[in-house]
Amino acid sequence: MVVLAEVHVPLVMLIVGRGFERLHQAGFESARFYLSRRRLFAWMLTAARRELIGAYLLAFALGIGNFAVPHVLQCRLYVIEVYMRLTNYLDVAGAVRAAGMLLLVAMTAGLLAWCGEGGVRGSAADVSRRWRMPLGRARWPLLVLVAGYFAGTTWLPLAAIACECQSFALFFEAVREAAPETANSLRLGFGAVLLACGLGLLVATLVGRHTRRSPVDAVVTATLGVPSLLIGLAMSRLAYRTWPADLSILGASSLLVTIGLAARGWPFAARLLINGRRAAAPAWYEAATLGGLRGWRRWRWLDGPLFAADFGAAALLVFVLAIGEVEISQLLCPPGGGTLALRLFTYLHFGPTHVTASLAMLQLLLAVVPVFVYFVLANRVLRLV
C-alpha cells in the first residue's frame, strides 16, 4: 500500500496543486484577512474539493489496476489473480470473467471523478503562474516533509540502484546487450504517440469547440484508470479470433502492441487536447470564421499554433506511458519483439542483480530525459489531467 501511494503521489500533487492555484481566483487574498487560520484551512479544502475528490478517485482507479508493484512485492491482489488465471492456469475464460469486475470498478471511479468536476474547466493558461501561496512559519515543516518524501522515494532508491550497477563498464555492457529491446521500445513508443495523439486531436477538434460537457468527456475520463492488463487481455482476445474477420496477422507484427499502447495513452492525450481546445479564446475562432479561414489554412494559421503546446504535452505523456508498459508488451509483443520494460521485468526474476539495476537506470533515463527536455524547451509544467 505504501509503495502504491508513493507511485501515485506525484499525480495527486499535480491535480491538487492545480486546485490550490485556482484559489487565487476564488478570493484567497481576501479570505486571509477575514478568516481565522482554522476557517481559512476549511475554506481552502472546500474551494479545492473538486480537485481533491478527482485526485483521490483517479489514484484509486490507477492503484487498483496496478500490476507491477504487487507483482514485484509478491502481494496477492485482485489484478494478480486475473494475471495468474491467464498465464499460470491458462484459464482464459476465468480471466475474462474476473477482469469484468476490475474494469467495472476502475471505470466507475473515473465516472465519479467526471461527475465531481461540476463543469468544464480551462487549462493552466487561465491561472496566474507567478502566484505562490504564503505558508508563513509552516513552510519549514512542510519543506522537511517534502524533502523526506523525495529522499525516501527518489534519492535513496536511486542511490541504491546506482550502487548495484557496480561499475560503468558493467552498466554500458548491459545497455549494449539491451540495444534491440531499447530500439523496439522507442519505435513502439513513437508509433503509439502518432496513433493516440492523432485520435485525441480528432476528438478534441470535434468536441472541444463546445463549452458544455458531453458524453465524450465522460468516456475519456472513465477510461483514464482502465488497467493496462485488461487492455492487453482484450486486444489479445480480439486479434486471435477468426470471426467476424481473421485478424491473426496482427499478432505476428508489432502493429497490435502499438495499438494497445496507444489505447492506454489515448484517454490522457484526449483529455489534454480537449482542455487545450476549450481554453483557447473564442475570439480567435470568430475572427477566423469572419476572415474566411477554412481547411488547411485554418489549421496552419490557427489550430496548429494553438494546439502545439498541448500536442507536445500529450505526445510526451503517451510516450512515457508506452515506454514503461509491461502488461501490454508481455501479452501482445510477437516473439523476438520484446521491449526494454519487458526485458527488465524478466531480469527481475532470472537475471543478475547488476544487469537488473543497469536496465532499471536505462529505463529511468528514457522516461525522465524527455520530460526534462520538454520542461526546458516549453518552459511550462506538464499538466496531466
247 vs 266: CA distance, rounded Å: 22
What are 137-149's pLDDT values in tens digits?
Answer: 767 888 888 888 8
Cell 489484478 belongs to residue: 79
Average pLDDT, the chain: 81
pLDDT attached to residue 123: 41
336 vs 181: CA distance, rounded Å: 9
Which of 385, 115, 128, 190 has its CA nearest to residue 276?
385
208 vs 230: CA distance, rounded Å: 28
Contact 292/271 with Cβ under 8 angstroms?
no
Q: How many CB atoms lie within 10 A of CB 116?
A: 15
Peptide bond into 134 cis (omega under 30): no
Binning pLDDT at 50, 70 and 90, where does residue 134 land? low
Enter the pTM of the model: 0.84
Which of 178, 174, 156 has its CA nearest to residue 165?
174
Binning pLDDT at 50, 70 and 90, where does residue 243 land? low
Lowest mean pLDDT: which of 105-114, 159-168, 241-250, 330-339? 241-250
pLDDT attached to residue 177: 92
pLDDT of 194 > 90? The answer is: yes
Binning pLDDT at 50, 70 and 90, where does residue 25 land? low
Could you tell me the three cell numbers for 68?
507491477
What are 50-84's pLDDT values in tens digits?
Answer: 888 888 888 888 888 888 888 888 888 888 888 88
Domain boundaries, the chain: 1-73+104-119, 137-165, 167-385
Contact 291/302 with Cβ under 8 angstroms?
no
pLDDT attached to residue 208: 66
Cα 213 from chain centroid (whole Å): 22
Which of 200, 191, 315, 316 has its CA nearest to residue 254?
191
Could you tell me the three cell numbers for 299?
489549421
Q: How many CB atoms lie within 10 A of CB 85?
A: 19
Contact 356/364 with Cβ under 8 angstroms?
no
> In CATH, what number does 167-385 get?
1.10.3720.10
How buried is 57 (Cβ within 10 angstroms: 0-12 exposed, 13-18 middle, 19+ buried)?
Answer: buried
pLDDT attached to residue 132: 60
pLDDT of 229 > 50? The answer is: yes
Lowest mean pLDDT: which of 169-173, 205-209, 252-256? 205-209
50 vs 367: CA distance, rounded Å: 30
pLDDT attached to residue 379: 61
Cell 528514457 belongs to residue: 366
Q: Name the range with the highest mean pLDDT among 120-124, 129-133, 186-190, 333-337.
A: 186-190
pLDDT attached to residue 17: 73
Could you tell me the three cell numbers for 195?
496513433
Cell 486479434 belongs to residue: 239
HSE value, Cβ hemisphere, 13 Å, CA-based, for 301:
13
Which of 13, 2, 7, 5 has its CA nearest to residue 384?
13
Q: Residues near 238 by Cβ (< 8 Å), separated by ≥ 6?
A: 247
Q: Comparing 168 with 29, which gets the higher pLDDT? A: 168
pLDDT of 200 > 80? The answer is: yes
Mean pLDDT of 130-135: 58
pLDDT of 355 > 80? The answer is: yes
